[in-house]
Structure formats: structure tokens, C-alpha cells
Chains A and B, each alone.
Chain A
């Protein structure tokens, strides 16, 4: 069966920060992938541990117009027909960190050991054969969910998925959705 037949474009990635419990099951599971050399491509951090237990979970947002790819001088980062922005091509990446600096979400990490930019590919090896990404599979709280818009609408009537982010005058549309209070349609970052 070809990849086109197995990859279901109706399945989307949804992130709900309020549900994140900071357990790092996603990081552990992501790092199990040998493609990443056992580095996690998803990152869980405390917002400010002194004042709150709140954590954030950051996965690649897979931008419609990925700035990481746009600023890459070596043309090492590509977006495929399904909207997945891929990790840097090993042979082309020059380890310059332009993408690391440019990403509005702080996603790409330069892994010094390999002199390579690495980031989430939404588990292309899994999603291309009809499985959920590993992080969204194991997440024990539903902070990460992979499924259809209809499913999430049914499951979470109080939230709505948002994939438009406004940074100053820059509008960034992404493949990955953030769950926000019902009625929201964009997230403006000040």
C-alpha cells in the first residue's frame, strides 16, 4: 500500500496546554525513536516553577509557510505535500542555526553532537502507516491528541482548535492546532 493511501490528511494534531501535567511521557516516548538518535523532538518545560506548577509542551507546529525553511541558506528543510515540515536533510544542513533563531515557536534545536538541526516530523514513520504520533499516543492527560476535527469537537465541547498565531504584524498559520477557550479563532502573542 502506498504512503498516499495510508496517510490520512483528516487527522490533525491538537495541543491543549491546560491539560499538560509535565510528566514527560511524550519526551520519553519520542526519544525512543532511533531516527532521532534517542533525542526527544518534543519539549516539556516549566513556565515559571517558582510561581506555578504549569508546564508547556512544545511540538513543531508545521507552519503553512515555514520560516525555518525560508531562512535556511542550504535549502535543507522542506515541507511535503501533506504539510509536514521535515527535519533538516543530513547531507545539506550546515549547522548554522538560522532556523533555530527564526522559528517563532522555538522548536528546532541544533544538536551539537551531530552538528545538525533536528525537529519533529510528526512521526512520519508512524503517521504514514496510519498510526498516531508517539507523543500523542502515550500522553496520559490528552494534552496531545491526534485525530479528526469532528472527534475533538465532540470530545471537548468547551474548547476550540486554533491554528492562527499573530506575532506583532506577522500572521503564522500552522498545521498543528492549539486548543483555546470556545469562541477563540486566533492567538495573538504580545
Chain B
């Protein structure tokens, strides 16, 4: 049973999270590094260029990389501090085994590997191959992502592989595939520069993609109007030309009403609609009753503001619409994405200079990682695991028979549910901390405790890994060569700066050895990362995400190459759809009717307040990495309940008073931060923290029926002030909360 071997406090004492600060005089050797390695930030989808300073096989500092075209040296605080992981005291240096009553003890690689493989075989022989699942993540490079996809299908022979991108971009991916037949941001960010109107919908750009702020301002300096759609006055909204303070869970009503306004006032590109799209009539039929008044009632946004947004959008010659998790983390995440795309298609502003549309992919390799096959329904090159031709092509590349290729498996949250039901008995995970990042964390914990065997590959012992039987110490981004694909669709080179410390090994070598021990060495022999990439190129060839023409050399020489890039002579595709040849079966861009639906949970007498969740600038996702970096933790030490003064006074809540927040899943206590910068009917909690400080104790496991993304952005909650002012943040140590 995958329970904690000893009290959690003892585990934390040994494995952290503890806080790493640079010494006051700097790390020794920083001034005279052995090597200055040009690579990228390990965190978000911007994948900013950065140089790492290396001394004696340790990362000792960073230097801005001025020449990388996207960020030209610019970084956010996470990027500045990202170098503090390779040298972190919490790093796992040896394989460890969970011994009840004793805790985690060091074991040899031989023992860790042989036990793992024998448990995999035992579980699969007893319960069937699919009873052993794999969860992966898109902080992994393209090479590792590809390898994980192949490993699960060819070595583990399980259909149940999914990834943490399920919490990230899947609604956007599904929406883009429906509308365009391809899942990638249609434009690179240089198309922002001369956009006349920019809509940023549900994307806290300045906190989650800070370096993108520069590109938005470049347009604003030329007179662009900025429209920010968000329930909070996020930093980007503070100076926006228009802030639409949407009620969480009602986004599609706003887009529907805007589309209806464009139709009513004939602000349409008829030529584009007639010649290059389908589904327009059904789509406008679905929104014909969506008046400004109705939208004001549903969304809580002043109708004059909605009208202004529609007029600006309708009258613009150039534009760029960006969205992110704010509209995607919903039980109708795909609907919201399609609502946005409908606005883009109606005005025909796509596939032309300064006419852009893109989701802002959240994770470092969220874009590339999801294209190459660790999604439960997908094979490399963005191929469909249920399409016989696609299966045959990849089976040939992998040297297996098509019928040996497992079918579509369960998505990430469904895997947890299947563990809970006892259908999945064993789990291997890499680069995923579901105990913090998935909704309804109490339910997730119960599931983990039911596993017969859990093996985790990670560089730190994150909260989920504490439940593992064996933890295999893996590698950071800077400890292995590879590539990632940024949110723009730019394939870039990750360079190895240092070796994994101690007896830790590269993720790749761990996966390759497991494959060998599972009896498929002949299919998992690669000389180096480039050899994996070269196989990936072939596997992607002819798929929508075609990397065939991209080589390591080209990536370096050209500072990245945008896919699709089908041949070595092809320049890459920074802007999609210039040829108007969409990748849908009929070659047209598809409008999709989006009738308004309620969110999965709505407020009632018992739970009268809307709860939404999100992030802060100094933390990244589940905090496995950033809750160990001292200055980032100090910047925002604990999650606060953001609440409007009107609601605070209604409940008699004082500034920094502890408030119990309850939903149908559970309850948690947070200090109140009373601010004018949030809707009066909504409270906000950032989710990066574990245990009793986790916002995901409260969020629902309601999934979008198409994308299977959980509805993190809307819960109904109740608030109860506890009559006690919170202790100072530093005292609470929320970064290691249990």
C-alpha cells in the first residue's frame, strides 16, 4: 500500500522542501566559470533564453542571454532564480525505498530497478497490462516526452498513459483541432507588434508569462488597444484600455454576445467566411438571442463595456487574441476556446501579418510534450491513437505490430479515479505532482494510498513521491541535452550544463534501463539525445506536428525552428494559415456553435460564493521546484484568500483574519487579503502549496467532456471568519505544509 512510511515531518526533515539561498558572497567560482551554457529557462512556455554559469560540474549562477530573439535577456523572478536547483540540498542523490516505520532508505540502483521491474510484471501478470499506469509531465524535453510515450506503449504495454498537460492546455488543444485541425498557436509573438486590438482572455500574463508583457507593450506603444478579460484586476489589467471583469464560469456567454454583436452590425469578413470556413450559419444561430443585456446579466460585465469590446474587435484591421488557463480550466473549457476562435474567424483575421490567435501554453514544453505521444489518445506527430493509419505508421517506426499498439487510455484524472476504484493497481510517474496539482486532493491521496506499487522518477521528493515505494533520482532540464517547443511553436535547444549530482541519473538512462529490463532493449537503444530526436523526426513526419526538417544543427544556427517543418530545406512556419489550407478534413476553418452552459457547480444558499484559483508570479505550478528556492518563497510565502471589501464586510472578515473556506470536497483555512481588485462575488486562492494550504482541497473533479480538463476555475464555497488574525507569514512555513 502506497502510504507514507513514517510521519510526514520526518520525511520533510530529510528531503525538504528546504529553502536554497545563494551564499552572500555568491557561489564559489561564479566569477570564473568553467563554462557558460546557453540554454533556456526550465519553467513556463515562454522558454526564455538564459545562460547558466558552471563551475566544477555545478550550476553556480546565471547570466542574461541577450541574443535569444524572444526575450533578449529579459527574465522573470523564477527565471533569475532557476539556477538554484542543481546545487540544492534537497536533491535526491540515490534511489530510495519506502520502509514502513523506518522511512526512506537508500538502496542500490540494481535493487531499485529489479524490484520495480518485478512489481510491474507481478501487477501486469495478475491484473492485466492496463492495471499498471504511467503519469508524465511536460517539463520534460521533446526527447523524453517521445521516449515516455514509446516506453508506456512498447515496454509497459499499457494504454493508461497520460500527463500533467491534462491540467494545462488540453481544452485549447481540443478546440484548435476542432476549428483548425491542428493544435498550435497560429502565430508567433512578433505578430503582436502591430496588432491594433489585443484581447487577453483568462491569462494572467504578467504573473504567469511575465516576459510576454514586453510584446504586448510593444503593440500598445504603437497605439494598440488592450482588452483584458479576467475576474481580477491582474497586473496587466491595471493599465488596460478595457477590463472585462467576467464572473468565473461565464466566459462563453461573453464571446457569444460579442459574436452576435458583430453579426448584428455586420462587422464580418464575408469573403473569408464564405471561402475559407464552414459552420458559420449554425454558429450564429446558436448566439442569436445573446444580447448585450443578457450577457451583462450572465457575466456580470457592464453591457457598455461588452459593446465597446465588440466594436473595437469588429472595427480593427489587425488583432491578436490570446487566452490561457483562465478560460480553459472549465467543464466547458473547449466551448470557451471555440467561442474565442469564432470571434477570430468571423473577422477573418488569421493567417496574415499582425493577425493572430494563440493559446499561451503554460508548461515549459507544454507544446512539444503534447505533440509527441504521452497523451492518452495521441501518438507522435500529433497523431490519433485510434486512427488505423496513424497506428500503423508509428508501429512501423517503433518496430512493433499495429495490433500490439495499445488503444486510447484514460486521462490523468480518470487514472486517479480508476486507481480509486481498484482497477489500476500500479503506477509509475515522472515530472508530475498530482497530490498538489489535481483537484480534490483528499480524493487523490486516498487513491495513492490504494496503489499496490508506485515508483516515481523525480529530482526532488515532491508531495506525491512521498507515497512511492521506490523513488528513482532523475535529472533537471539542465542535466541532459534535448529540445523543447515553446508556446510559439518554436523548437529550441536545451543544452546540458552539468551532470546529475551524486548517483542521480538522467531521466533518459532510467527509462532506457527499465525498457531493457522489461525485455525490449532492441527498441530502446540510442546513442544520445540527438538519436532520439532523429527518431522523433521520422515519427512526426507526415503528422500535423511535423518536425522532420528540424535538426539540432538548424535549431542552434537559426535560434529555433517553428514547426511544421516537413523537409530540411523548409524554413519552418512562424505563422500558420497563410495559405488558407486548414488541416480539417474539408480544408476549411470550422466555426463551432457554442450554446451557453452553466459551470459544473453553481452557487446556492449553502455555498454562496464563487471560488476561483490561479497562480502567483514567484511560484510555478505545484511548487516541486519553486517551493525550494528561498527568495521565491519569501516573495509570496503563503496562499492568501483574495476577497473584495464588500464581501469581507458582508461576512465580517477583517484583513489577515483567518477564514475557513469550505466546498463540497473539503475545507481549508487561509488569511484574508481584502482588496478592491477582485469581483465582489468571487474569491481567489493561488494553488501552489501542499497539504492543509492546498487550494485543491476545495476544487472539483468535474471534467470537460471533450478535453477532460478539470474545472479548477469555478467552485461554490462558503466563508467563515475564525475571529483570529493570522500569524506572520514567515512563521507558517506554507511551502512545506502537510
A residues with a Cβ closer than 8 A to B are 18-19, 21-25, 27-29, 31-32, 34, 37-38, 49-55, 132, 134, 137-142, 155-158
Q: Which residues of B contact A158 (CB under 8 A)?
A: 221, 223
Tally of contact residues, B, Cβ under 8 A: 51
Kindly provide the distance from the CB of A14 to the nearest chain B CB, expressed in whole angstroms.
13
Instruction: Give the interface segment out of B77-85, B151-159, B386-394, B445-453.
Output: B77-85
Kindly provide the distance from the CB of A132 to the nearest chain B CB, expressed in whole angstroms.
8
Q: Which residues of A contact B676 (CB under 8 A)?
A: 50-52
Q: Which residues of B contact A23 (CB under 8 A)?
A: 76-77, 206-207, 210, 235, 617-618
Kindly provide the distance from the CB of B81 to the nearest chain A CB, expressed in whole angstroms.
6
Q: Which residues of B contact A32 (CB under 8 A)?
A: 22, 26, 61-62, 80
Which residue in chain A gives the minimum CB-CB distance to B206? Answer: A21
Which residue in chain A gives the minimum CB-CB distance to B235? Answer: A21
Q: Which residues of A contact B74 (CB under 8 A)?
A: 25, 137-140
Whether B89 is near chain A, meaning CB under 8 Å from some CB there, is no
Q: Which residues of B contact A34 (CB under 8 A)?
A: 24-26, 30-31
Whether B213 is near chain A, meaning CB under 8 Å from some CB there, is yes
Q: A140-B76, A157-B221 are contacts. A24–B635 as well, Cβ < 8 Å?
A: yes
B residues with a Cβ closer than 8 A to A are 21-26, 30-31, 61-62, 64, 66, 71, 73-77, 79-81, 206-207, 210-214, 217-218, 221-223, 233-239, 617-618, 631, 635, 645, 655, 673-677
Say whether B75 contacts A22, CB under 8 Å.
Answer: no
Q: Which residues of B contact A155 (CB under 8 A)?
A: 218, 221
CA distance A46 to B233 in the complex (A): 14
Say whether A25 contacts B206, CB under 8 Å.
Answer: no
Q: A28-B631, A31-B631, A50-B676 are contacts. A21–B213 as well, Cβ < 8 Å?
A: yes
Q: Which residues of B contact A140 (CB under 8 A)?
A: 71, 74-76, 210-214
Q: Which residues of A contact B21 (CB under 8 A)?
A: 38
Say whether A25 contacts B210, CB under 8 Å.
Answer: yes
Kindly provide the distance from the CB of A2 to the nearest chain B CB, expressed in whole angstroms.
21
CA distance A78 to B391 in the complex (A): 73
Say whether A50 contacts B76, CB under 8 Å.
Answer: no
Q: Which residues of A contact B223 (CB under 8 A)?
A: 158
Kindly provide the distance from the CB of A28 to the nearest chain B CB, expressed in whole angstroms.
4
The contact sample of 29 A-B pairs, CB cut-off 8 A, is A21-B213, A21-B235, A23-B76, A23-B206, A24-B618, A25-B74, A25-B80, A27-B77, A29-B75, A32-B26, A32-B80, A38-B23, A51-B676, A51-B677, A52-B238, A53-B237, A53-B238, A53-B677, A137-B66, A137-B74, A138-B64, A138-B73, A140-B76, A141-B206, A141-B210, A141-B213, A142-B217, A155-B218, A157-B221
Say whether B75 contacts A25, CB under 8 Å.
Answer: yes
Q: Which residues of A contact B62 (CB under 8 A)?
A: 32
Say whether B213 contacts A50, CB under 8 Å.
Answer: no
Q: Which residues of B contact A29 (CB under 8 A)?
A: 75, 80
Which residue in chain B gives the minimum CB-CB distance to A27? Answer: B77
Say whether B214 contacts A24, CB under 8 Å.
Answer: no
Kindly provide the distance from the CB of B543 to the nearest chain A CB, expressed in whole angstroms.
34
Q: Which residues of A contact B211 (CB under 8 A)?
A: 140
Q: Which residues of A contact B234 (CB under 8 A)?
A: 53
Kindly provide the distance from the CB of A22 to the nearest chain B CB, expressed in whole angstroms.
6
Say whether A52 contacts B677, CB under 8 Å.
Answer: yes
CA distance A37 to B77 in the complex (A): 18
Which residue in chain A gives the minimum CB-CB distance to B222? Answer: A157
CA distance A50 to B643 in the complex (A): 10
Which residue in chain A gives the minimum CB-CB distance to B676? Answer: A51
Q: A24-B635, A25-B210 are contacts. A38–B24 as well, Cβ < 8 Å?
A: yes
CA distance A134 to B222 in the complex (A): 27
Which residue in chain B gives the minimum CB-CB distance to A37? Answer: B24
CA distance A134 to B73 in the complex (A): 10
Q: Which residues of B contact A21 (CB under 8 A)?
A: 206-207, 210, 213, 235-236, 617
Q: A38-B24, A140-B211 are contacts. A24–B77 as well, Cβ < 8 Å?
A: yes
Q: Which residues of B contact A55 (CB under 8 A)?
A: 235
Q: Which residues of A contact B76 (CB under 8 A)?
A: 23, 25, 140
CA distance A51 to B238 in the complex (A): 11
Q: A24-B617, A138-B80, A141-B213 are contacts. A38–B22 as well, Cβ < 8 Å?
A: yes
- 5 smallest CB-CB distances across A and B, nearest first, come from A21-B206, A34-B26, A140-B210, A21-B235, A28-B80
Q: Which residues of A contact B80 (CB under 8 A)?
A: 25, 28-29, 32, 138
* Contacts A24-B617, A29-B80, A141-B206 supplied; 15 other A-B pairs, CB < 8 Å: A21-B207, A23-B617, A23-B618, A27-B77, A32-B80, A34-B26, A37-B25, A49-B673, A51-B675, A52-B677, A132-B73, A137-B66, A138-B73, A138-B80, A140-B74
Q: A23-B210, A49-B675 are contacts. A28–B81 as well, Cβ < 8 Å?
A: yes
Q: Which residues of B contact A139 (CB under 8 A)?
A: 74
Say whether B75 contacts A138, CB under 8 Å.
Answer: yes
Q: Which residues of B contact A156 (CB under 8 A)?
A: 221
Q: Which residues of A contact B207 (CB under 8 A)?
A: 21, 23
CA distance A27 to B618 in the complex (A): 12
CA distance A19 to B81 in the complex (A): 22
Kindly provide the distance from the CB of B331 to the nearest chain A CB, expressed in whole angstroms.
29
Which residue in chain A gives the minimum CB-CB distance to B233? Answer: A53
Say whether B617 contacts A19, CB under 8 Å.
Answer: no
CA distance A25 to B50 in the complex (A): 14
Q: Which residues of B contact A50 (CB under 8 A)?
A: 645, 655, 674-676
